[in-house]
Amino acid sequence: MRSLFNSLAVLTGLLTSVAVAVHPVEVQGQDLIDTVTNKRFMIVGVDYQPGGQAGYKPQEGSDPLTNKSVCLRDAIMLQKLGANTIRVYNVDPTLNHDDCASIFNSAGIYMIIDVNGPQSGESINRAEPWTSYHKDYLKRIFGVVENFMAYPNTLAFFSANEVMNDLDTGKVNPQYIRAVQRDLKSYIKEHANRTIPVGYSAADVREILQDTWAYMQCDNDGDGSESDIFGLNSYSWCGGKATFQSAGYDTLVDMFENSSVPVFFSEYGCNEVMPRVFDEVAALYSDKMASLSGGLVYEYSQEDSNYGIAVINDNGTVTLRSDYDALQKQFNKLDTSKIAATGTKIKAPKCDKKLITNDAFDTNFTIPAVCPGCQTLIKNGIDKPTNGKLVKVTQIASPNKIYGSAGGEVTGLSLKLLSNDGVNAPSGETSSPKGAASESSTSTSADGASGSSKPTGAASKLAGGWTLLGASLVAALTLL
């Protein structure tokens, strides 16, 4: 009896263990490296913002990482997809994210967290950055660091997203973003017990991309304001007919081959041709693109902008789109464990006007001084931070029904708790059942597209929906 009890206890212990934690990942030259195995870490990711920007509701005490049941449901499907990283755009640093962070950790999935928010005072105002760089703003972003720094699966922080999207916005903002990065890095150094990389997520506006990257990576007399990582939101590969050349991936390789820091796609997945087939996945993880560290597909949930790989239904169930099936198939073909580290350790060039190709872009490398009262804040830490910590993951069965792209229910869904500090990898499976459920009225077509996989709407076809989307997001951020 006693031994049975003990075995049960051990079994329960295994099922709900808190000991498992993904390995910390570190920047080494151009590579992201798993600090325990010493192998290269390639980001196989998906951007995660259920509800879109409106999913951030601090006034109601919720954001995309506060509802345990929602996180469990989605972590299961992201795990089956083969993802090892999510990016989350808007979090409230005063809320408790322990359950969600722990669920993703147990699933072997890392998190890249943007420190900003969409509301007033929660980001740099790109029209007048000097008005928004102050102590109250830093309190918010340091709060995000305090909140997420103890989770082993916090992979990196983004200091800003697409603040520069043309030459006008490229004139003065870069130095403010470097100021913010300097302060975030100082704060992490003072208060976190490991290094966590900080970087910028850039819009793929080719006119300013090279200059943005040059400005962000250069060494400014060792002031620590440079990006540790560089994310590129890249939507240039559209549909099954695109090629390495037509998508301009060759230009990207040229640009980033000699990067001193890891570069990856912080968003990708053009939706001008629907349903998406994600041929760019094979290219992104090929030898030709070895200087990039993978990327994150935009995005998990279907929102107005029509980029979702899954539809979150009003009743809490999820219906996979054929985009999910296509992406899963592409991920299944990858073996990222075989992708060798580039070993490239290039010293960043010294910051200098001559690195900047366009005179209209920022050439001023005098980074704004630390704002009034901010040095003390960095030294002493913010008041009453909400510090996250891993907790037990006690439930693993999917709390909601999940339907495949043809309407049939996906059965037997539960979170696979990874042992041995594992990182998630593609499993080779196909989640969407072939046939439609008998009781389902979801329309199905030959290619398995669900009723929601409509051809791209006019809005997202206009000028490449992403540019428009990016621009309006930034505009909204700026207005708020």
What whole-number distance in Å separates Cα of residue 189 and Cα of residue 223?
14
Q: Do 247 and 174 touch, CB atoms closer than 8 A? A: no
Determine which one of 146, 267, 299, 303 is catalytic: 267
H or E element in which residue 403 lies: strand 402-403
Q: What are the start-end ranges of the E strands in 165-262?
A: 198-203, 229-234
In the bound state with ligand NAG, the residue whose beta carbon lies nearer, of 129 and 269, is 129
Q: How far is the CB of 437 from ligand NAG (least distance, A)?
A: 8
Count of Cβ atoms closer than 10 Å to residue 35 Cβ: 13
DSSP state at residue 65: T
Taking CB under 6 A as the rule, does residue 26 contact ligand NAG?
A: no
Count of Cβ atoms closer than 10 Å to residue 73 Cβ: 25
Taking CB under 6 A as the rule, does residue 343 contact ligand NAG?
A: no
Spell out the residues 6+ positions from residue 314 whose beta carbon is closer than 8 angstroms to its own.
none
303 as an active site residue: the answer is: no
Taking CB under 6 A as the rule, does residue 136 contact ligand NAG?
A: no
* 251 phi, psi to nearest 5 deg: -65, -40
Determine which one of 122, 162, 226, 299 is catalytic: 162
Stretch of 26-34, 109-117, 359-367, 416-424 contacting ligand NAG, by CB under 6 A: 359-367
Q: Which of 155, 30, 150, 35 is nearest to 84 (CA)?
A: 155
**Which one of 57, 392, 401, 416 is in contact with ligand NAG (CB under 6 A)?**
401
DSSP state at residue 27: E
**Which one of 69, 251, 386, 456 is in contact with ligand NAG (CB under 6 A)?**
69
48: left (phi over 0), alpha (psi -120 to 50) or beta: beta
Structure tokens at 421: 């500090």
Q: How far is the CB of 216 from ligand NAG (least distance, A)?
A: 15
Q: How far is the CB of 184 from ligand NAG (least distance, A)?
A: 17
Contact track, ligand NAG, 182-221, x by CB under 6 A: -----------xx---------------------------
Q: How far is the CB of 256 from ligand NAG (least distance, A)?
A: 9
Torsion angle of C-alpha atoms 279, 156, 47, 330, degrees rounded to 10 = 30
Contact track, ligand NAG, 246-285, x by CB under 6 A: --------x--xx---------------------------
Q: Do 296 and 85 touch, CB atoms closer than 8 A? A: yes
Q: How far is the CB of 380 from ligand NAG (least distance, A)?
A: 20
State which of positions 229-248 bind ligand NAG (CB under 6 A).
none
In the bound state with ligand NAG, the residue whose beta carbon lies nearer, of 428 and 435, is 435
Q: How far is the CB of 2 from ligand NAG (least distance, A)?
A: 32
Taking CB under 6 A as the rule, does residue 445 contact ligand NAG?
A: no
In the bound state with ligand NAG, the residue whose beta carbon lies nearer, of 127 and 468, is 127
Q: Do 200 and 170 touch, CB atoms closer than 8 A? A: no
**Which one of 95, 150, 348, 468 is in contact with ligand NAG (CB under 6 A)?**
150
State which of positions 285-314 bind ligand NAG (CB under 6 A).
313
In the bound state with ligand NAG, the residue whose beta carbon lies nearer, of 194 and 345, is 194
Q: Which of 119, 59, 121 is nearest to 89 (CA)?
A: 119
162 as an active site residue: the answer is: yes
Spell out the residues 6+ positions from residue 168 whose beta carbon is closer than 8 angstroms to its own.
none
Stretch of 1-9, 205-213, 362-370, 445-453 contacting ligand NAG, by CB under 6 A: 362-370
What whole-number distance in Å separates Cα of residue 106 and Cα of residue 284?
27
Give me the DSSP letters along 335-392.
-GGG-------PPPPBP-GGG-S-TTS-----PPPPPTTHHHHHHH--SS--------
In the bound state with ligand NAG, the residue whose beta carbon lies nearer, of 211 and 267, is 211
In the bound state with ligand NAG, the residue whose beta carbon lies nearer, of 392 and 401, is 401
DSSP state at residue 15: H
Q: Under rule CB under 6 A, how many of the chain's residues touch ligand NAG?
A: 19
Residues that bind ligand NAG in the complex, under the rule CB under 6 A: 67, 69-70, 150, 175, 193-194, 254, 257-258, 313, 315-317, 364, 366-368, 401
Residues labelled as active-site residues: 162, 267
